Structure 1
Amino acid sequence: MGSVCVVGGGAIGLLSALELARNGQQVCLLERGDTGRESSWAGGGIVSPLYPWRYSSAVTALAHWSQDFYPQLGQRLLAETGIDPEVHETGLYWLDLDDEAEALAWAAREGRPLSSVELDKVHTAVPPLGLGFQRAIYMAGVANVRNPRLTRALREALLRMPNVSLRENCEVRGFVRRDGRVVGVSTPEGEVLVDRVVLAAGAWSGELLRHLGMVLPVEPVKGQMILFKCAADFLPAMVLAKGRYAIPRRDGHILVGSTLEHAGFDKTPTGDALESLKASAFELLPQLEDAELVGHWAGLRPGSPEGIPFIGPVPGADGLWLNCGHYRNGLVLAPASCRLLTDLMLDRKPIIDPAPYAPVGRLG
């Protein structure tokens, strides 16, 4: 049994730890705060890139595998932990797209169920939708996952495994190297020595890799969200227009997001963003003006070139592996990313071609 230290307790770190532990590894997961409280908690949880046709085939391959896998992941976590991640299949409507033709061509090429829909049919299917839209396309089968519950379920699953130790409020401050190999990490409580280390620290991954004199092009990109409370049957499908979306949870909560801001590691919610998000919400769903606004928050996405994550061993740092840089699609891509990482670490046949995600040639 090999030993692995996973650095970072978001969805990617938690699921990496779970995959490795289920495959016989002794796993220690370190999180500098509470697990699942950064980007994984702050996001919307749509199990699709917002505009999948605008991404490279590398992102598409991870997304398709994960979308197919999510229902069974949700069911297994519920059975094991009693916590339901609520993989909620609603479908998704895109309204007034500038690149609608490209979207439909992509769907035909990829075999995805995306098609044009007449507006009167959209209003029948989604009665609260605003009247100011001209065109719509719809993809059936798109789900959303209730991300705070997903990370809680992953955490609980790990706590129940005898070959896992979970240490929260434990900040990794550097790596331990011996004879050119990474053999652990340093923390305020001492060194944690293992066979291999997985860096899955989201927007903070680049800061940590600097300790090895390497430049990882992952940077924080702030996103702000708001939350309304409505009747459970208020919004039957997800809707997206002008870069903003509304996501229904099963209990009637409606998430509206999100902004894209380059503000370093500042997570302060702002009044300007609140007004902008409310305006988008009321344009999409006018009845939200009368709904209770119950939350407004910000998180930091791990921005990366083209949104393509880094998954694989770090060249020049034997023993160190990456699973980070998922940008806007961490929750979407997590199941495939973590399975691919596990395949590579255990020298199994990978679920998809690992080459596009390899750190080699992509670090400074």
Structure 2
Amino acid sequence: MAKQQQVVIVGGGVIGLLTAFNLASQVQSVILLDRSNLGQESSWAGGGIVSPLYPWRYNPAVTALAHWSQDFYPQLAERLFASTGIDPEVHTTGLYWLDLDDEAEALAWAKRENRPLSVVDISATHDAVPVLGPGFSRAIYMADVANIRNPRLLKSLKAALLALPNVTLHEQCEVSAFIRDGDAVVGVESSKGPIHGDQIVLTAGAWSGDLLKTLGLDLPVEPVKGQMILYKCASDFLSSMVLAKGRYAIPRRDGHILIGSTLEHEGFDKTPTESALESLKASAVELIPALAEAEVVGHWAGLRPGSPEGIPYIGEVPGFAGLWLNCGHYRNGLVLAPASCQLFADVMLGREPVIDPTPYAPAGRI
């Protein structure tokens, strides 16, 4: 692909930011647009566990992206920290799954995929995580699972892009339609006027489906609300991530503890609710009884881009030359971002792809 191209990216979450970052050195210019402020939607709201919550329950297409990303995140974070001075804080704590119904399937998956997942005696689990609640009888553990401090990752990516002379960032710039030239998509109509590009990339998360409707396309990506709460404890309070009954506790390096999350189909409403607060607090206390005495210092909601089986759409849209998708990551946008954005750049630029792109191609899926 010739380097004289201008690429317009619609959506400034982690997928849009990292897509821009990967393309910037390969194309003439990148223009990134976001309807509000960069990285303030689901990328900011998520927990940042660098693993699907239950990786063995996913399609192999999700697993392939997850494994590549897990291995790549430490070097991405180091590179961003070195260039921006903002540390995305990849924090490798390991993850305990408690009282799983499908423990046998999890262990079989780990053996097949060569991942370091093993059964741990519950008393050894309590030794390793002294604050863990008493109500659990079984545990499995994966040692190398990290979490990334997603608000810091987003700040670091934004700073890295601001330093690049051929990248333009437009916040508060809502896209309402695509500009067509015959079968080709050559730009977008935005609140700042028409913006043209040789390639248009849709990375608008939960909003991607609505934008594609303007072209008569039916992309099955819909908003799925998730609420989280945050506690502040001592930095050594919780040594590892723990997960039970679909709820998890994530320790940050400075002692912040995230508890998540709900799964709600409420359209684009992201108002935090009292009922979710109470439910999350109950889960927090079941996992870690000492949190009953701790103060909730944050409570928020985000909208995940729900998609069938959580398999993202990565590639060019058939019949719409110049229109590309990198969206629909559902619960795993942060987990899958490095691999998704590397694969996207490979496909767009005609390079040898890091992962087989077939399962993610929009052809036949929209």
> Structure 1-normalised TM-score?
0.99
Task: Please name the residue that 2:355 is paired with.
Answer: 352
Q: Could you tell me how far apart the structure 1 residues matched to 2:307 and 2:177 are?
A: 22
> Which residue of structure 1 aligns with residue 9 of structure 2?
6
Q: Equivalent residue for 1:303?
A: 306
Match of 2:282 among 270, 279, 285: 279
Counterpart in the other structure of 1:330: 333
Cα distance, 1:290 vs. partner? 1.0
Match of 1:99 in 2: 102
Aligned residue number for residue 262 of structure 1: 265
Using the alignment, how far apart are the partners of 1:257 and 1:193 within structure 2? 40
> Aligned to 2:24, what secondary structure does the other structure show?
helix
How far off is 1:188 after superposition?
2.1
Q: Is 1:216 paired with 2:223?
A: no
* Residue 23 of structure 1: how far off its partner (Å): 2.4
**1:24 matched to 2:57:** no
How far apart in 1 are the matches of 2:296 and 2:193? 44
- Distance (Å, rounded) in 2 between the aligned partners of 1:26 and 1:182: 17
Does the 8 A contact of 1:32 with 1:170 survive in 2?
Answer: yes
- What is the distance in 2 between the residues matched to 1:350 and 1:175? 28
Which residue is 1:229 aligned to?
Answer: 232
Q: Matched residues in 1 for 2:137 and 2:343: separation?
A: 41
Residue 295 of structure 1 aligns to a residue whose secondary structure is strand
Query: What amino acid is the match of 2:125?
Result: V
Does the 8 Å CA contact 2:6/2:27 hold for their aligned counterparts?
Answer: no
**Structure 2 Cα separation of the partners of residues 188 and 38 of structure 1:** 19
State whether structure 2 residue 37 is matched by structure 1 residue 34: yes
Give the Cα–Cα distance (whole angstroms) in 1 for the partners of residues 183 and 328 of structure 2: 25
Deviation readout 1:45-104 (Å, 9 max, x if unpaired): 000000000001100000000000000000000000000000000000000000000000
Which of 141, 154, 168 in structure 2 is aligned with 1:151?
154
Using the TM superposition, give the Cα deviation of residue 180 of structure 1 relative to its aligned residue in structure 2, in angstroms: 1.5
Query: 1-side partners of 2:155 and 2:217: how far apart?
Result: 33
| Match among 61, 64, 79 for residue 67 of structure 2 | 64
Q: Partner amino acid for 2:31?
A: C
Q: Is the 8 A contact 1:93 1:237 kept in 2?
A: yes
Q: Work out the CA distance in 2 between the residues paired with 1:22 and 1:61.
A: 26
CA distance in 1, matches of 2:20, 2:98: 38
Q: CA deviation at 1:24?
A: 3.4
Question: How many residues in Structure 1 have an aligned counterpart in Structure 2?
Answer: 363
Query: Deviations for 1:255-286, whole angstroms, at most 9, x for unmatched residues?
Result: 00000000000001111111000000000000
* Superposition deviation, residue 18 in structure 1: 0.5
Q: Where does residue 196 of structure 1 map in the other structure?
A: 199
User: Which residue number corresponds to residue 15 of structure 1?
Assistant: 18
Unaligned runs of 5+ in 1: none
Give 1:291 deviation, angstroms. 1.2
> Alpha-carbon deviations, 1:138-178, whole Å to 9, x = none?
00110000000101100000000011000000011110001
Q: Does structure 2 retain, via aligned residues, the 8 Å contact 1:31–1:168?
A: yes
Q: Secondary structure at the match of 2:189?
A: strand
24, 38, 48: which is aligned to 1:45? 48
| RMSD of Structure 2 on Structure 1 (CA) | 0.6
SS in structure 2 opposite 1:212?
coil
Greater alpha carbon shift after TM alignment, 205-214 vs 23-32: 23-32
CA contact (8 A) 1:230 1:292 kept: no
Tell me the distance in 1 between the aligned counterparts of 2:362 and 2:133.
45
The answer on whether the counterparts of 1:4 and 1:198 sit within 8 Å (CA) in structure 2 is yes
Report the Cα offset of residue 329 of structure 1.
0.1
Which of 146, 163, 168 is equivalent to 1:165?
Answer: 168
Partner of 2:124: 121
Work out the CA distance in 1 between the residues paired with 2:88 and 2:188. Answer: 31
- Give the counterpart letter for 2:207 in structure 1: W
Letter in 2 for 1:146: R
Structure 2: distance between partners of 1:124 and 1:152 = 36
Residues 4-55 of structure 1: CA distance to partner in whole angstroms, max 9, x if unpaired? 0000000000000000003234100000100010000100000000000000
